[in-house]
Amino acid sequence: MNVEARIENAGRIDYDAPYRMSINGEMVGATETFDVTNPATGKVFAQAPAGSREQLDQAVAAAKAAQPGWAALPWERRSAYITAYADALQAHREDIVTLLTTEQGKPRHSMASTEVDYAIYWVREVAMRQLREEILEDTDDHVVKVVHTPLGVVGAITPWNFPILLGLWKVAPCLITGNTMVMKPSPYTPLGTLRFGEIAQQVLPPGVLNIVSGGNEQGQWLTEHPDVSKISFTGSTATGKKVMASSSGNLKRVTLELGGNDPAVLLPGTDYQAILPTLFDAAFGNSGQWCIATKRVYVHESQHADFVRDFVELARTKTVGDGMDPATDLGPIQNTMQYDKLKALLADVRAQGYKVPLGGTIDESLEGNFVPVTIVDDPPEDSRIVREEPFGPILPILSYRDVDDAVHRANDTDFGLAASVWGPDRAAAIEVANRIEAGTVWVNEIHIHGIDIPFGGHKQSGMGVENGQEGLQEFTNTKTLMFHK
């Protein structure tokens, strides 16, 4: 079927139909299924197929068989397919947003809508990007040219916090560069990914994008599979290390987008009133379940007490609730594993006697995994709440005396994902930003991303980047061509 005929078909997804995996262009179930729970109600609302190892092997075989034909298409043809995929996703936008809220928890009217819109925009834009060739030398008798060739089959493994966006962030650059893919979403949020796989089957040739679902063991199978050439992984640092180890069998390329403990450093004299709402969203958006959420705020001692008072006042106005309710600002914690982790972290905060001017106690009589907005005032630098990535709506606000000390504390971590520096003197703030050890540092702004802006972590926050030319290149081999004229 050609690309035009495929897009014609793309309106036909039955949202009440059972969830199926995409293998070689077919929608397939599995002998076993597993529960998917709505985190706002605690109720199981769907079953997802628990794919077997044999099915994972079939998906990899389909991707392998499809890859040479897909790579042989002119770049413009692949681009047309991926643009058609963006159109098909757009046609299903409303349903995907609702599904995302139902399985992930984030508010439908804000974060879920933004995630889906952004993901579709990303697919559409990446379809228009090209990988640049480089002529390094062109003399009278010799040419040196660098080109980028596809790797083959890419295995993609995604987390539960932004399942649609982070999934499609991998799909578009992987496919445009001539690779095919087998993707495995988190078992906590498999449904949106299964649906975007189903939509893909109506637009893309069979085998180009395969989606399997199941438990963590599927991730392990994918990383050790001899016919997979690269793993593109987003998830925790602990799992990232396992991925790297088990990818070594055939020396897979790995891109690891891992955890973070991002500091925000407010330099003395920052007009903090002007940025309070931005900082609140930076820390508490998606209920803090965000790799690049601001997870520690350092405020100069001359402003610290006022900042805490005003931040608490703003935070007090926010509503935690079911993401389907338009009055909700922050949804539930996506799963009970994470909810229990936050409960333990809050118990530690209480046991240590830290000051908690807002929140701090979970109402366990509620049906969903709701955690209140919690602010911890100036806990010690070596406390768990400062050292660990909470991945929830709990924020420590720390006081510092001199800027060198703030920079030292901001850097005193194994993480190095992102950071922000705020201050009245832009040049001074940029100087501080230059000293922060992180893959992305924003100055007097935060959470700006772009198709052409590479994103990746330093230290144990990751390896490699996504987005930009570098991100595209990570789905390719570098090949040097030299010839005599």
Please give the backbone phi and psi of residue 299, each rounded to the nearest 5 degrees, phi first.
-120, 140
Both tokens of 53, joined, read 């190892």
Total number of residues shown for the chain: 485
For ligand NAD, the binding residues in 379-438 under the rule CB under 6 A are 389, 391, 417
Q: Are 381 and 409 in contact (CB under 8 A)?
A: yes
> Residue 307, interface with ligand NAD (CB under 6 A)?
no
Of residues 243, 265, 410, 438, which one binds ligand NAD by CB under 6 A?
A: 243
Of residues 25, 205, 207, 235, which one binds ligand NAD by CB under 6 A?
A: 235
Give the helix ranges, DSSP H, for 140-236.
Answer: 163-176, 191-201, 216-224
> Residue 122, interface with ligand NAD (CB under 6 A)?
no
Of residues 258, 275, 345, 443, which one binds ligand NAD by CB under 6 A?
A: 258
> Residue 468, interface with ligand NAD (CB under 6 A)?
no
Please give the backbone phi and psi of residue 131, each rounded to the nearest 5 degrees, phi first.
-90, 125
CB of 254 to ligand NAD, least distance (A): 11
Identify which of residues 115 and 389 has a Cβ nearer to ligand NAD in the complex. 389
Please give the backbone phi and psi of residue 324, each rounded to the nearest 5 degrees, phi first.
-80, -15
Q: Are 35 and 50 in contact (CB under 8 A)?
A: no
**Residues 115, 257, 389, 466: which is the catalytic one?**
257
Query: How many CB atoms are closer than 10 A to CB 102?
Result: 23
With b for 16 or more beta-carbon neighbours within 10 A and e for fewer, the 358-376 pattern comes to: bbbebeeeeebbbbbbbbb
Distance CA 413, CA 338 (A): 22
Query: How many CB atoms are closer than 10 A to CB 402?
Result: 11
Candidates 45, 113, 125; CA nearest to 82 is 125
Identify which of residues 70 and 284 has a Cβ nearer to ligand NAD in the complex. 284
Of residues 152, 178, 219, 392, which one binds ligand NAD by CB under 6 A?
A: 219
Of residues 93, 109, 145, 242, which one binds ligand NAD by CB under 6 A?
A: 242
CB of 218 to ligand NAD, least distance (A): 7
Of residues 454, 457, 468, 471, which one binds ligand NAD by CB under 6 A?
A: 457
> Residue 164, interface with ligand NAD (CB under 6 A)?
no
> Residue 100, interface with ligand NAD (CB under 6 A)?
no
Q: Please say if 291 is a catalytic residue.
A: yes
Identify which of residues 3 and 244 has a Cβ nearer to ligand NAD in the complex. 244
CB of 225 to ligand NAD, least distance (A): 11
Q: Where are the beta strands (DSSP E) in 66-194?
A: 134-138, 142-150, 153-157, 180-184
Distance CA 158, CA 164 (A): 9
Please give the backbone phi and psi of residue 254, each rounded to the nearest 5 degrees, phi first.
-130, 135
Candidates 119, 125, 129; CA nearest to 92 is 119
CB of 152 to ligand NAD, least distance (A): 19
> Residue 205, interface with ligand NAD (CB under 6 A)?
no
Distance CA 270, CA 359 (A): 26
> Residue 187, interface with ligand NAD (CB under 6 A)?
yes
* Burial class, 381, CB count within 10 angstroms (exposed 0-12 / middle 13-18 / buried 19+): middle
> Residue 341, interface with ligand NAD (CB under 6 A)?
no
**Residues 115, 174, 291, 466: which is the catalytic one?**
291
Q: Which stretch binds ligand NAD (CB under 6 A): 46-54, 158-166, 263-271, 313-321?
A: 158-166
Identify which of residues 88 and 330 has a Cβ nearer to ligand NAD in the complex. 330
> Residue 263, interface with ligand NAD (CB under 6 A)?
no
Q: List contacts with ligand NAD (CB under 6 A).
A: 157-162, 166, 184, 186-187, 216, 219-220, 223, 234-236, 239, 242-243, 257-260, 291, 389, 391, 417, 457, 462
Known catalytic residues are 257, 291
